[in-house]
Amino acid sequence: MLRNLRLNFFLLSFLILLAPLSSYAKKAPDSFARLAEALSPSVVNISTTTIIEDRKNNLPTFPPGSPFEEFFKQFQEPNQSKRRAQSLGSGFIIDKKGYIITNNHVIDNAEKIMVILHDDKSFEAEVVGKDPKTDVALLKINPKNTILKAVKFGNSNDLRVGDWVMAIGNPFGFGGTVTAGIVSARGRNIGGSYDDYIQTDASINRGNSGGPLFDMNGNVVGINTAIFSQSGGSVGIGFAVSSNLAKQVSDQLRKYGRTKRGWLGVLIQQITKEIADSLQLKNTNGALVSSATENGPAYKAGIKSGDIILKFNGIKIESMNELPKVVASTPVGESVKVEIWREGKIKTLTVILGELELAENNNLINNNPKKGKTKSFPRIGFEIKQLDDQDIQKYKIKEYTKGIIISKVKKNSKAFKSGLREGMIIVRVGQAEVSDLSIISNAIEKAKKQKR
Centroid of chain to Cα 300 = 27
Q: What is the DSSP string of 348-377?
A: EEEEE-EEHHHHHHTT-S--PPPP--EEEE
Give, as one character, the DSSP assignment of residue 153. Answer: B
Whether 54 is catalytic is: no
**Residue 427: how many other CB atoms lie within 10 Å:** 18
Instruction: Note every long-range contact of 293-297, with CB atoms under 8 Å and residues 24 or more positions apart, other chains counting.
Output: 293/265, 293/266, 293/267, 293/359, 293/364, 293/365, 293/367, 294/367, 295/364, 296/263, 296/264, 296/265, 296/266, 296/354, 296/359, 296/364, 297/263, 297/264, 297/265, 297/351, 297/352, 297/353, 297/354
Whether 105 is catalytic is: yes
Q: Which of 135, 196, 307, 391 is catalytic?
A: 135
Q: Which of 47, 90, 156, 209 is catalytic?
A: 209
Q: Which of 40, 87, 95, 105 is catalytic?
A: 105
CA angle 76, 77, 82 (to 5 degrees): 140
CA atoms within a 13 Å half-sphere pointing along the CA-CB vector of 140: 10
Give, as one character, the DSSP assignment of residue 135. Answer: T
Instruction: Compute the distance between CA of residue 247 and CA of residue 305 in angstroms, rounded to an integer.
Output: 34
Contact 435, 423 (CB under 8 A): no
Instruction: Compute the distance between CA of residue 179 and CA of residue 385 in angstroms, rounded to an integer.
Output: 56
CA angle 86, 48, 196 (to 5 degrees): 115
**Residue 306: how many other CB atoms lie within 10 Å:** 20
Q: What is the DSSP string of 193-220?
A: TT--EEEE-S---TT-TT-EEE-TTS-E
Instruction: Compute the distance between CA of residue 97 and CA of residue 94 in angstroms, rounded to an integer.
Output: 9
Whether 118 is catalytic is: no
* Catalytic annotation, residues: 105, 135, 209
